[in-house]
């Protein structure tokens, strides 16, 4: 590290870490202690963070980019478990069990991560048992949210799921957007819990609300119209439940 460079998190990084579900309700000083002295980890697209079976020595907060968590099937094919986005944590369960990471973790875009050391967490629990209860409470709320998310995904059509994902990428003011998909369509489909062919059909149906996709490039004529279909404004699309 160059002389004079600080390992204190930047304002952006701190805001991302502080907003994590796992740290909500914890004092700022406690969270700062967990990240103090640890520079963010930068990975290039395709770079592996850890492999399935590696010792779980910590967990991670996504500061920028997307991380793919996957396992290798018996036939050698990838089984994508989750694609973590900015503000999400991953690998915390394995760390608490002091075991091994149950998945591979690979960057699907350029990524920046904040690592939370397992030993730091255990030391904090040793001197402040209330910290353990705070983390358990946060993880219980997260589990409840995940159950609600699964229920919501079951109710959504493929087109609605894709529309929600595209709306997340419409960042900023205005109603018209153009952007590049952050990673491969097959990975997006896996993240949404639908088949790749269903993802392609959903994109085709979204043309009716002004979405045009050419390769990885996306044009959204009206964010308002795209959002309206999620509230019943495009019944022909909403009725299709092909996933």
Residues in the chain: 243
Per-residue pLDDT of 103-131, as tens digits, reads 999 999 999 999 999 888 888 888 888 88
More reliable by pLDDT, 226 or 141: 226
Per-residue pLDDT of 25-71, as tens digits, reads 788 998 999 898 889 999 999 999 999 999 998 999 999 999 999 99
Mean pLDDT of the chain: 85
CA–CA gap between residue 229 and residue 234 (Å, rounded): 4
Q: How far is CA 35 from CA 113, 191, 227, 237, in A?
A: 11, 28, 37, 45
CA–CA gap between residue 95 and residue 135 (Å, rounded): 13
pLDDT of residue 234: 53
Numbered ranges of CATH 1.10.10.10 in the chain: 156-238
- pLDDT over threshold 90, residue 241: no
Per-residue pLDDT of 131-160, as tens digits, reads 877 777 777 777 777 777 777 667 788 999
Domain 156-238 has CATH 3.40.50.720: no
CATH fold for the domain made of 11-153 = Jelly Rolls (2.60.120)
Q: Are 60 and 39 in contact (CB under 8 A)?
A: no
pLDDT of residue 10: 87
206-218 burial, b at 16+ Cβ within 10 Å, e below that, comes to beebbbebeeeeb
DSSP-derived secondary structure for 50-113: E-TTSB--EEEEEEES-EEEEEE-TTS-EEEEEEE-TT-EESHHHHHTTSB-SSEEEESS-EEE
Name the least confident of 15-19, 138-142, 192-196, 238-242.
Answer: 238-242
Task: Return the DSSP state at 193.
Answer: T
Confidence band (pLDDT; 50, 70, 90) for 215? Answer: very high
Torsion sign across C-alpha atoms 187, 193, 195, 199 = negative
Q: What percent of the chain has pLDDT over 70?
A: 89
More reliable by pLDDT, 75 or 95: 75
pLDDT of residue 97: 63
Q: Are 91 and 101 in contact (CB under 8 A)?
A: yes
Q: Report helix, strand or coil for 177.
A: strand
Numbered ranges of CATH 2.60.120.10 in the chain: 11-153
**Which runs of consecutive H residues, i.e. helices, occur in the chain?**
11-18, 28-35, 92-96, 118-127, 129-155, 158-169, 185-192, 196-205, 223-228, 235-238
Confidence band (pLDDT; 50, 70, 90) for 95? Answer: low
């Amino acid at each position: 590290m160059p002389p004079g460079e600080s390992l204190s998190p930047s304002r952006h990084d701190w805001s991302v870490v502080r907003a994590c579900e796992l740290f909500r309700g914890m004092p700022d000083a406690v969270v700062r202690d967990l990240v103090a002295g640890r520079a963010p980890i930068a990975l290039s697209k395709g770079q592996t963070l850890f492999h399935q079976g590696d010792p779980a020595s910590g967990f991670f907060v996504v500061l920028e980019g997307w991380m793919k968590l996957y396992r290798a099937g018996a036939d050698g094919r990838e089984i994508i478990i989750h694609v973590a986005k900015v503000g999400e944590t991953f690998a915390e369960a394995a760390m608490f069990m002091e075991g091994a990471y149950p998945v591979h973790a690979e960057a699907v875009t350029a990524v920046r991560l904040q690592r939370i050391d397992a030993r730091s967490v255990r030391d904090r629990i040793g001197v402040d048992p209330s910290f353990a209860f705070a983390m358990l409470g946060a993880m219980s709320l997260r589990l409840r949210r995940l159950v609600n998310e699964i229920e919501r995904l079951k109710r959504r059509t493929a087109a609605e799921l894709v529309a929600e994902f595209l709306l997340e990428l419409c960042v900023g003011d205005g109603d018209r957007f153009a952007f590049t998909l952050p990673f491969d369509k097959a990975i997006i489909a896996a993240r949404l819990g639908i088949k790749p062919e269903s993802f392609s059909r959903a994109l085709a149906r979204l043309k009716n609300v002004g979405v045009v996709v050419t390769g990885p490039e996306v044009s959204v004529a009206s964010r308002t119209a795209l959002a309206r279909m999620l509230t019943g404004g495009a019944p022909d699309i909403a009725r299709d439940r092909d996933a």
